Each structure stands twice: as C-alpha cells, then as structure tokens.
C-alpha cells in the first residue's frame, strides 16, 4: 500500500464520562476510498472533524503530508456570512485551481450561483457545499452524509463525479448502495476503537458479525473462568503460599479486565402502536391534478392503495412528491379529481424535516408533550425514562434540549414519537436521514411485519428496494406512473415491453395483482420470512412434543379433565399453525429456487 498522506495515531478524546475515542488509528493513502461506519454516537463525525483539523483531541497525533489539500463536507453546512452561493463555493480556491470549476459544478447541481444563502433549502445548501468541496479537486475529500437531502439524480451524479476524481475519499453515509458503489476499504469505529477491513462495504456486515460473535464467545469464557476462580477463592485457599497469591492476583486482574470491557451498544426497540384494522381500501384517487403558479405538478393521476400495500414515491426534489402524498392522505385538496380515504384509517406521519421538534424543548417533554413523566405506547403506559431506553437514550438525557441532540439522535426521537401513536397507515418522509445502518435494518424488519399500509418518500434506493411493493415515480410534466416492485425494477420495466409493462394506473380499482410484472425477486418481507419461519416451526414442534407428552398420561383424562382438554386444544392449534408455516415456507423456497434458477 502507498505511504499515507494523512495519519491519525493513538487518538483519544473524552467529552466527560465514557471516552468517545480510545487510541483510534486512521491512515489514508493517495486515491484510497474508505467508508467510515459505526453506530450513531460512536464518534464518526468527530473523527472526521479531527482528520479535517477542526477538533482538538486529548492525546495522540495528527500528521498530514506537506502540500496535501483536504476538503471537508459537514452534515449541516453553514453559509452565513456569504453574499451569494458562488462566493461560498469559491472560498478557499488556491491560485492554481480552476477559477471556473466552482460555477460549473453549481450549474451541474442546479444552482445559478447568485442565490442568497439565507434562502436556500436544505437540499440546495447541501449541493452548494458539495460544489465548494469538489471545486479544488483536493487530495483528500472528507464527506459526512453527502447524500442527505439529495434526490436520486443528484446522488447518481455525485457517484459518477466521485468515481472520476483521483482524490482519496473518507465517507460517512447511511446509503448502502452509495457505500457499496464507491468504497474499497471499510473503517469500523466501535466503542472508541478503529478496526479496518481492506474490502468495500459490501463485505463489512458479515465481517462485523464474525467479530462480535467471537467477542461474545471470549466474554463467556472469561465469565466462566472468573466464576471458577471465585469458587476457588471461597473454598480452596488453604495457606498463603506464593502460588495462591499469584492466582489471587490473576483473579483480580481478570475482574478488572471484565469491568473494563465496553459492551456493544444495544439495538433500538422498534414496535409500532397498532390501531384497529382499517378497511381493505386505504386511499383512492381518481383523475387528480394540481398546479402551483405554473405547469401542473400532478396531471390526471389515479391510484388505489389497499391495506398491506407499501408504496414508495420517487422523483427529483421539487417534482411534487410531498404534494402528491398530502393529496392522497387528505391533507391537501386537488384542483380536479377526487380522493377517498378508507374506513377507520389512523395515520401517523414521520416528519423527517423535524420542523415539529422544538429545539428549546427537552427530550422528555418532546416525548410526553410536556404533560407529565409517562408515555402511552403499544397499549401500555410507561415511564418516559423506560421508553427512552428503547431508543438508546440514557436517563441523563431526559432534560437535554432537543437542539443539542445529534442528527442521529433527533432521527431516533422522531421515530419514538411516531411509533408511540396508534396507526394503521404510516407515512414516512425521508426516514433514513441520519439513522445508522443497524437502526435502518431494524426499521426495515418492523415495516415488513407492520399490518397496515405504508407510504414512503425516500431517495435511498436500497431502502426502497427492501421495503416497497410498488413505486409511484415522477415521469415529467406532471405525469406519475406506478410500477410493481422497487426502484431497481423501474429500469427493467421501462426497457421491457413498453406500454404493456409501464402502466399509469389510471384505472381506479386496479389491484396490486393487476400491476405490471417486474423483474422476479423476493420481497424484503419474503426474505425475512424465509429466515425466521424455520425458528417458528422449531418452536411449534417443541410445543407439540410438550402437549403430546402431557396427553401421554393415560390417567390424565379421568384425573384432570380441564388440563386434558386444554392440552388437546393447544395441540390442535399448534399443529394447525405448524402446517401453515410449512406451506408458506415451502412456497417461498420454491419461488426462491425458481428465481435463482431462472
């Protein structure tokens, strides 16, 4: 490997309490493509700021090869103090840099350069910051969540632009496909320490799981050894011999070692509060159109969404995704056409713009509405501290102002508030922003098991592919089309049978079964079922054996008729459930084999 042009050696940093970084090491060579991964709060953004020279550390060393240029993209760019966007993008260009490249990049990103920075949206500010970071073609690019607030065309442009650069890149992102496309090595920040895998992100999760399994095994062995030595200490010391003193010293060392082990951060506990089941129809639109001071953003669109559907909305920023979502949920009236919501629909919206969060409010008040110390969630009344722990907040954070929370913490807070309210329709607007990959996995599993309908706006291609049963995509000039499958299926259908495959879904009453067939694949829910059904079958088989053993007692009927009847009823129910799971698993296995074989 080429010599590093940036080195962080033995970096330690503590913000009170548990150290954030302990002896962290990072080396970046010319042209390297590293992704930096880790749980929310693990210190990824702080480490990137240290690499950029923006944060002082307690101990260790930072070395940059003389003449090396570094550009840093923060999560929340600050454009204050600049008269125009172009002034901001050109700031920091060296005499030898192309003076026109900043304006060129702004144009490619949809900005003229004369915009007032104070009036930019979040997506526009992010695009301006990207132009500023890319303009000098630096030796090292440090990118913190570069895809946040970007639409899919901008993300794909950014991927192509970064692929063409010769810069070394260190990137933090929740976008799996972005990381898989660009990364060649993976740096894992876990419990203050750095581990490196010289493979891209696609290989990371299997490698991480192997490490955690080995750690759990080692910790179990240490616990057993400490238990044995404790028994010896209580029952086996016969004299103050040197050997016994040495053994006692070893036990003290092992106890200290066990106390200092930092446990893996727990998982967020995602469980929606389910309302009574809605009717089969959730929402129906017929011939709806909408115009805002110019061309139509929605033109003669019809669709029917049924209970259990998971519908994704995709399109560039400004296309009208949120407007269409608001029309379908009855928040906004269409100019023409009609919308009908189904019976007993209870909707909960996850507002990822976070405008509903009061920065001055405490975390506790944000969850309780300022009305006491309890939260009603999942049909239970729980103390707010207990509910906070489900979302990885510590008790000490209860009085923390929302404005002091990190982006990931604010994302978890929005999830906690949304899931506490009963619903049978979840409306999720960019739910992936700032959430770590493990929390996204749990969110996907929760949505796969959710019994209601889901409407999802997201620019995360992988997340959409894993969740949705259909996609409503912007086609230009106010036209929206519904496609079966996920985002990846759109291109396959567009290049397939033309109008026979691509359907506008104008026929009201069209069921999901009537949608154009996309590329055959297992849905996320089917994949999840294939993994979990065998465990359910094993559990049921154990129940059946237990009931059979109970009924094997020939005197039970005469001695305890009530227990006999209960065991017989439970045996029949378990056998029925087992048969159902076996049929479902067999059907999914056949489907999987057909897909892999075809």
- For residues 202 and 320, membership in a common domain is answered with no
**Residue 265: per-residue pLDDT:** 53
Which 3 state secondary structure label does DSSP give 382? strand
Query: Between the CA of residue 512 and those of 47, 282, 308, 326, 484, what are the distances in Å?
Result: 47, 13, 10, 22, 8
Which 3 state secondary structure label does DSSP give 390? helix
Three-point CA angle 70, 73, 74, nearest 5°: 130
- Matching residue, tokens 């110019």: 294
User: 206, 226, 244 — which closes off a domain?
Assistant: 206
- Evaluate whether residue 366 is within a structural domain: no
pTM of the predicted structure, to 2 decimals: 0.66
- For residues 201 and 223, membership in a common domain is answered with no
- For residues 124 and 181, membership in a common domain is answered with yes
- Evaluate whether residue 273 is within a structural domain: no
Q: For strand 59-64 and strand 70-73, is the pairing parallel, antiparallel, or unpaired?
A: unpaired
Token pair in block for residue 392: 């990885």
The tally of domains found in the chain comes to 4
* Structural contact between residues 476 and 297, judged by C-beta atoms closer than 8 angstroms: no
* Structural contact between residues 123 and 151, judged by C-beta atoms closer than 8 angstroms: yes
What's the whole-number mean pLDDT along residues 29-58?
A: 92
173: closest CA among 196, 151, 148?
148
| Strands of 479-484's sheet in order across | 347-351, 425-429, 453-457, 310-314, 470-476, 479-484
Which 3 state secondary structure label does DSSP give 490? helix
Task: State the chain's maximal CA–CA distance in angstroms.
Answer: 98
Where is mean pLDDT largest: 14-18, 186-190, 220-224, 482-486?
186-190
**Residue 490: per-residue pLDDT:** 82
- Evaluate whether residue 389 is within a structural domain: no
Q: Which of 149-158, 445-454, 488-497 has the lowest mean pLDDT?
A: 488-497
Q: Which of 344-348, 354-358, 505-509, 554-558 has the lowest mean pLDDT?
A: 505-509
189: closest CA among 58, 388, 51?
51
- For residues 202 and 157, membership in a common domain is answered with yes
- Evaluate whether residue 227 is within a structural domain: yes
d(CA 304, CA 340): 9
- Evaluate whether residue 399 is within a structural domain: no
**pLDDT exceeds 50 at position 502:** no
**pLDDT exceeds 60 at position 261:** no
**Residue 68: per-residue pLDDT:** 95
- For residues 297 and 239, membership in a common domain is answered with no
- For residues 155 and 75, membership in a common domain is answered with yes
* Distance in Å from the first CA to the final CA of the chain: 41
d(CA 283, CA 343): 9
User: 260, 295, 328 — which closes off a domain?
Assistant: 260
Residue of higher predicted confidence among 490 and 134: 134
Looking at the chain, the whole-number percentage of residues with pLDDT higher than 70 is 83
Q: pLDDT band at residue 232, thresholds of 50, 70 and 90?
A: low
What's the whole-number mean pLDDT along residues 17-28?
A: 88
- Evaluate whether residue 202 is within a structural domain: yes
Within 10 angstroms of residue 511's Cβ, the number of other Cβ atoms is 9
Q: What is the CATH number of the domain that holds 18?
A: 3.40.50.300
**pLDDT exceeds 90 at position 88:** yes
- Evaluate whether residue 380 is within a structural domain: no
**Residue 509: per-residue pLDDT:** 34
**Residue 335: per-residue pLDDT:** 93
- If you ran DSSP here, which 8-state letter would residue 552 be given? T
Domain containing 569: what range? 524-597
Token pair in block for residue 585: 């698993």
54: closest CA among 137, 142, 118, 130?
142
**pLDDT tens-digit readout, 459-482:** 888 888 888 989 999 998 899 999
- For residues 77 and 134, membership in a common domain is answered with yes
- For residues 179 and 298, membership in a common domain is answered with no
User: 462, 488, 514 — which closes off a domain?
Assistant: 514
- If you ran DSSP here, which 8-state letter would residue 174 be given? S
- For residues 110 and 43, membership in a common domain is answered with yes
What's the whole-number mean pLDDT along residues 38-56?
A: 90
């Amino acid at each position: 490997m080429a010599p590093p042009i940036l080195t962080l050696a033995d970096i330690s940093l503590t913000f009170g309490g548990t150290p954030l970084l302990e002896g962290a090491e990072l080396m970046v060579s010319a042209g390297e493509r590293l992704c930096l991964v880790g749980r929310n709060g693990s210190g990824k953004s702080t480490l990137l700021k240290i690499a950029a020279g923006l944060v002082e550390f307690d101990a260790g060393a930072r070395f940059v090869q003389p003449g090396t240029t570094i550009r840093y993209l923060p999560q929340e760019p600050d454009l204050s103090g600049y008269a125009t966007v172009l002034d901001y993008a050109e700031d920091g260009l060296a005499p030898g840099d192309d003076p026109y490249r900043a304006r060129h990049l702004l144009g490619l990103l949809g900005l003229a350069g004369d915009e007032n920075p104070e009036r930019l949206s979040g997506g526009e500010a992010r695009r301006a910051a990207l132009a500023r970071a890319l303009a000098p073609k630096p030796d090292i690019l440090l990118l913190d969540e570069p895809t946040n607030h970007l639409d899919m065309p901008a993300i794909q442009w950014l991927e192509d632009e970064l692929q063409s650069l010769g810069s070394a890149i260190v990137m933090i992102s929740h976008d799996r496909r972005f990381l898989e496309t660009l990364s060649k090595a993976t740096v894992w920040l876990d419990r203050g320490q750095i581990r490196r895998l010289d493979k891209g992100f696609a290989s990371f999760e299997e490698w991480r799981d192997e490490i955690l399994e080995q750690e759990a095994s080692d910790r179990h062995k240490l616990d057993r050894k400490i238990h044995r030595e404790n028994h010896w200490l209580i029952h086996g010391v016969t004299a103050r011999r040197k050997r016994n003193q040495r053994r006692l010293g070893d036990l003290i060392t092992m106890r200290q070692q066990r106390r200092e082990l930092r446990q893996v951060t727990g998982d967020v506990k995602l469980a929606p509060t389910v309302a009574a089941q809605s009717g089969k129809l959730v929402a129906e639109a017929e011939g709806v159109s909408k115009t805002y001071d110019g061309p139509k953003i929605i033109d003669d669109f019809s669709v029917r969404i049924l209970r259990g559907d998971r519908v994704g909305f995709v399109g560039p920023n400004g296309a009208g995704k949120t407007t269409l979502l608001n029309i379908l949920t009855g928040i906004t009236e269409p100019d023409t056409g009609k919308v009908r919501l189904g019976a007993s629909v209870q909707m909960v919206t996850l507002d990822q713009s976070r405008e509903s969060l009061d920065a001055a409010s405490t975390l506790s008040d944000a969850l309780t509405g300022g009305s006491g110390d309890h939260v009603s969630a999942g049909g239970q009344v729980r103390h707010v501290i207990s509910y906070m722990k489900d979302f990885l907040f510590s008790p000490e954070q209860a009085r923390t102002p929302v404005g002091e929370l990190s982006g990931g913490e604010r994302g978890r807070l929005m999830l906690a508030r949304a899931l506490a309210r009963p619903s049978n329709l979840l409306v999720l607007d960019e739910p992936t922003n700032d959430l770590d990959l493990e929390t996204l996995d749990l969110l996907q599993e929760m949505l796969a098991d959710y019994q209601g309908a889901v409407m999802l706006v997201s620019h995360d291609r992988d997340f959409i592919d894993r969740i949705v049963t259909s996609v409503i995509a912007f086609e230009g000039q106010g036209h929206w089309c519904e496609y079966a499958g996920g985002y990846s299926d759109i291109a396959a259908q567009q290049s397939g049978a033309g109008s026979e495959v691509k359907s506008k879904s104008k026929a009201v009453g069209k069921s999901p079964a009537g949608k154009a067939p996309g590329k055959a694949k297992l849905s996320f829910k089917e994949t999840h079922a294939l993994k979990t059904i065998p465990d359910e079958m094993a559990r049921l088989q154990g129940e059946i054996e237990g009931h059979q053993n109970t009924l094997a007692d020939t005197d039970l009927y005469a001695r305890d008729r009530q227990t006999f009847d209960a065991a017989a009823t439970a045996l029949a129910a378990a056998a029925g459930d087992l048969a159902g799971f076996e049929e479902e698993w067999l059907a999914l296995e056949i489907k999987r084999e057909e897909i892999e074989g075809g």
